[in-house]
Amino acid sequence: MNFRLKIGSETRSLEASPLDETRRTTVMYGEITHSVAVDAIDDNHLNVRLDGRSLNLFVGAAADGAWVWAEGRARFVEDADKLQRRKSSGLLDQPVAVTPPTPATVMRVMVEVCQMVEKGQPCVVVSAMKMELTLAAPYAGTVTAVNTQAGAKVMPGEILVDIEPLTEAKADE
Amino acid sequence: MFSKILVANRGEIAVRIMRTAREMNVATVAVYSEVDRTSQHVLTADEAVFLGESDPAESYLNFDKIIVAAKETGAEAIHPGYGFLAENPTFAQRVSEEGLVFVGPPAESMRLLGNKTTARRLMSERNVPVIPGMTAAESDICRLQAAADEIGYPVLVKAAAGGGGKGMRIVRTAGELPDAASLAASEALSAFGDGSIYLEKYLDRPRHVEFQILADMYGHVVHLFERECSIQRRHQKIIEETPSPALSEELRARMGAAAVAAARAAGYVNAGTVEFLLDRSGAFYFLEVNTRLQVEHPITEMTTGLDLVRRQLEIAAGLPLPFAQEDILRRGHAIECRIYAEDPERDFMPSPGKIIYARSPEGPGVRYDHAVYSGWEVPVNYDPILGKLVVWAEDRPSACARMIRALKECVILGVKTPIEFLLDVLSNEKFQAGETHTHFIEEFFSSWRPSTAGDDLAALGFVVNEMLGPRTVERGASVGPAQPISPWHRLGAWDMIR
């Protein structure tokens, strides 16, 4: 079985033979072959013998993949093939926009409709978990709409300020 | 002693306070907001009172609701924990006016020390060394600029009412001052309701060394030695240890005496912390007094063997301290790592979400104060602390090794945590050599990235987990009538064990 896995920004491929009745398999990372035996201790806990070395791994399934933890290092792992299918259906096409990285509360809106903004110009200040974050314009342009106000609770993906990009021609004017 | 107390806080600190109360046979009342209905502190308390909406102003910061909750449940005292109302003198005063006991210092000491400029003035009068800087808050930019010129750049802009790095800015040139001052003032205003700022000299790579103090109502003040909290990100502590690798016995005695003098100057009662900056020449400067139980108090408990919450409750109940300075001993070395829901790859940005799975580290010398369980959702409304992992061992190298071992047993899946980052800091040569300072993370870990070795094991785990398939059904199937009859079933009652 071939797997293409996305971890962070990297995608890696590996190949594994199906588990036999003693839950053994061989896993190939490129040229290197490892012998692997696995026992499921419970829904989240796996004991894996990787070339004879015992490791306790913990797995937590989430909507788009799974969190996998080994020796203090946790990674969110996505199946790149499934991801590719979602991406081509447009689900992951996130515009670069003025949106909070975490659920947050708007503290101040620093731009107005029709205002010209520079790339990197602060547009909105939000507060999340007692920390203030400044959301800057991702590109230069004109503000066409302000979709929020101070005190509003906002979520990632919510576009707080619409900016019409400055076109080349306008930039020359 | 009180028969019942209300803990006006949430999360790990509320749970920690309730544990000691239970050991003292004191009943506990939790308070909670909408989003905390099934949070760990509610599950730990003997009874719980709903305060209101999740917004802190409607719940954990709401004086009236908390006081009504205390009166209705018959609690005699209110323990504020840290954060929220812990350093609010108006609340402390209100609690006493309502005939209840505030577990903390008198409102007057809090007022004196809570205002950093007043505190600095008070300390310099009592010969406690302070960092060169302004002794009064200032908002006029021209006067700020004149003061900065006199102190000499770089200067630090600080909030007069503040703490925890909020409203703090380093200014390296005169040109940066106006922007930094206005940003700091606005951050201070939103965080503390007071936009006053002042300037002080910025020290290069100092250590943060603080002293735990205890004072009873009868003028008896002791210190419980130091904690070094130099490892910080965003001006907030992330690793703390005691003893500090930088203190000689002679310096420890001098700083301890200064801490006791600082507490006396403010008429301090209950547990508190006197913070100092220690520069490379061994000179130390008063920073501030935290008029509360600190997040990092467990490391002092580990090395002195004293329970600080027990002492707080006894002092608040009017009992005298049962020991003198020379009775307080310390042994071994303790380290604490703070575990927040935050992303160390993205400047420690909060990372709220659902905890899919959590498992606690255990074993010799390990203490894990936390409020996390599998399936719990980390709310966005509050400070994202999940817990504190604390270890004790006979010396510093063993404590570092024990912390690395314990971090490798600490499983939290579903949100980003700094566990991997902490492992790399603990394994760092300079950290292991004790060469820590407040810019350590900035200097050595600003471009930190998780290791690719972790990626390989994660990929392996993902693949074998996929191949094993779902497992719950298989497990459930074994719990049926087909099980062989165990000897326990036939023996009936447990009488045979006697």
Q: For chain A, what are the domain ranges?
A: 2-88, 104-172
Does the structure show a pLDDT above 80 at B163? no
What is the model's pLDDT at position B304? 98
When the candidates are 2.30.30.180, 3.40.630.40, 2.40.50.100, 2.60.40.650, the CATH number that belongs to A104-172 is 2.40.50.100
The residue type found at B34 is E
Does the structure show a pLDDT above 70 at A86? no
Does the structure show a pLDDT above 70 at A135? yes
The residue type found at B327 is D
3-state secondary structure of B369: strand
Q: Which residues of A touch B416 (CB under 8 A)?
A: 74
Q: Which of A73-82, B14-23, B184-193 has the highest mean pLDDT?
A: B14-23
Architecture of domain A2-88: 2-Layer Sandwich (3.30)
**Contact call for A59 and B465, based on CB within 8 A:** yes
Query: Do the first three CATH levels of B4-103 and B207-452 match, i.e. the same topology?
Result: no
Which residue, B428, B466, B120, is CA-closest to B266? B120
DSSP B462: H
What is the model's pLDDT at position A139? 86
Contacts 24+ apart (CB under 8 A), A55-58: A55/B457, A57/B457, A57/B460, A57/B461, A57/B464, A57/B465, A58/B357, A58/B359, A58/B411, A58/B413, A58/B461
Q: What angle do CA B453, B459, B465 make, to 5 degrees?
A: 135
Q: How far is B460 from chain A, CA to nearest CA, in Å?
A: 8
Q: Which residues of A touch B350 (CB under 8 A)?
A: 102, 128-129, 131
* B268 neighbors B109 (Cβ within 8 angstroms): yes
The mean of the pLDDT values for chain B is 92
Query: Do the first three CATH levels of A2-88 and A104-172 match, i.e. the same topology?
Result: no
More confident residue, A133 or B440: B440
Find the helix packing angle between B107-114 and B116-125, rounded to 10°.
Answer: 90
Residue range B76-103: average pLDDT?
Answer: 97
What is the model's pLDDT at position B118? 87
Q: Which residues of A touch B187 (CB under 8 A)?
A: 132
Q: Which residues of A touch B408 (CB under 8 A)?
A: 71-72
Residue range A134-142: average pLDDT?
Answer: 87
Residue range B126-147: average pLDDT?
Answer: 88
What is the model's pLDDT at position B109? 96
Q: How far is B113 from chain A, CA to nearest CA, in Å?
A: 23
* B212 neighbors B268 (Cβ within 8 angstroms): no
What is the model's pLDDT at position B414? 95
3-state secondary structure of B43: helix
**pLDDT band for position A131 (50/70/90)?**
confident
Which residue, B368, B352, B449, is CA-closest to B409? B368
Measured between alpha carbons, how far is B66 from B30 in angstroms, rounded to an integer? Answer: 10
Does the structure show a pLDDT above 60 at B495? no
**pLDDT more than 70, % of chain B:** 94
More confident residue, B470 or B320: B320
What is the model's pLDDT at position B461? 95
Chain A (121-150) residues lying within 8 Å, Cβ to Cβ, of chain B: 127-133
What is the model's pLDDT at position B56? 95
Does the structure show a pLDDT above 50 at B147? yes
Does the structure show a pLDDT above 50 at B188? yes
Least confident of A85-99, B202-216, B315-329: A85-99
Least confident of B14-23, B139-148, B236-245: B139-148
Q: Which residues of B touch A40 (CB under 8 A)?
A: 468, 471
Tell me if chain B has a CB within 8 Å of the CB of A46: yes
What is the model's pLDDT at position B472? 57
**Contact call for A48 and B382, based on CB within 8 A:** no
Encoding tokens for residue B278?
Answer: 């220690």
Does the structure show a pLDDT above 80 at B237? yes
Does the structure show a pLDDT above 90 at B187? no
Does the structure show a pLDDT above 80 at B493? no
Measured between alpha carbons, how far is A85 from B138 in angstroms, rounded to an integer? Answer: 59
More confident residue, B187 or B434: B434
Does the structure show a pLDDT above 50 at B329? yes
B37 in catalytic set: no
Does the structure show a pLDDT above 90 at B8? yes
* B209 neighbors B248 (Cβ within 8 angstroms): no
Structure-token match 């005298």, residue found: B320
> pLDDT tens across B412-461, in order?
999 999 999 999 999 999 999 999 999 999 999 999 999 888 899 999 99
**pLDDT more than 90, % of chain B:** 77
**Contact call for B413 and A8, based on CB within 8 A:** no
Encoding tokens for residue B236?
Answer: 């907030």
Residue range B152-169: average pLDDT?
Answer: 82
What is the model's pLDDT at position A136? 87
Q: Find the helix or strand (DSSP H, E) in which B241 lies.
A: strand B236-242
Q: How far is B462 from chain A, CA to nearest CA, in Å?
A: 7
What is the model's pLDDT at position B131? 87
Chain-centre distance for alpha carbon A11:
13
**pLDDT band for position B314 (50/70/90)?**
very high
What is the model's pLDDT at position B475? 46
Does the structure show a pLDDT above 90 at B31? yes
For the domain bounded by B207-452, which CATH number is listed?
3.30.470.20
Measured between alpha carbons, how far is B93 from B74 in angstroms, rounded to an integer? Answer: 19
Does the structure show a pLDDT above 50 at B38? yes
Tell me if chain B has a CB within 8 Å of the CB of A62: yes
**Contact call for A131 and B349, based on CB within 8 A:** yes
Does the structure show a pLDDT above 50 at A95? no
Pairing mode, strands B155-159 and B169-171: antiparallel
What is the model's pLDDT at position B473? 47
What is the model's pLDDT at position A128? 80
Q: Which residues have C-beta within 8 Å of that of residue B444, sequence separation ≥ 6?
A: B428, B430
What is the model's pLDDT at position B9? 98
Residue range B142-161: average pLDDT?
Answer: 89
Which residue on chain B is closest to A23 by alpha carbon?
B468
What is the model's pLDDT at position B419? 97
CATH class given for the domain over B4-103: alpha beta
**pLDDT band for position B276 (50/70/90)?**
very high
Encoding tokens for residue B58?
Answer: 């409607």
**pLDDT band for position B478 (50/70/90)?**
very low
Going from N- to C-terminal start, the domains of chain B cover 4-103, 132-201, 207-452
Which residue on chain A is closest to B188 by alpha carbon?
A132
**Contact call for B419 and A72, based on CB within 8 A:** yes
Which is catalytic among the residues B292, B330, B367, B396?
B292
Pairing mode, strands B284-290 and B270-278: antiparallel
Q: How far is B79 from chain A, CA to nearest CA, in Å?
A: 22
What is the model's pLDDT at position B433? 97
The correct answer on CATH 3.30.1490.20 for the domain covering B132-201 is yes
Please give the interface size between A and B, counted as residue pairs whose CB atoms are below 8 Å apart: 172
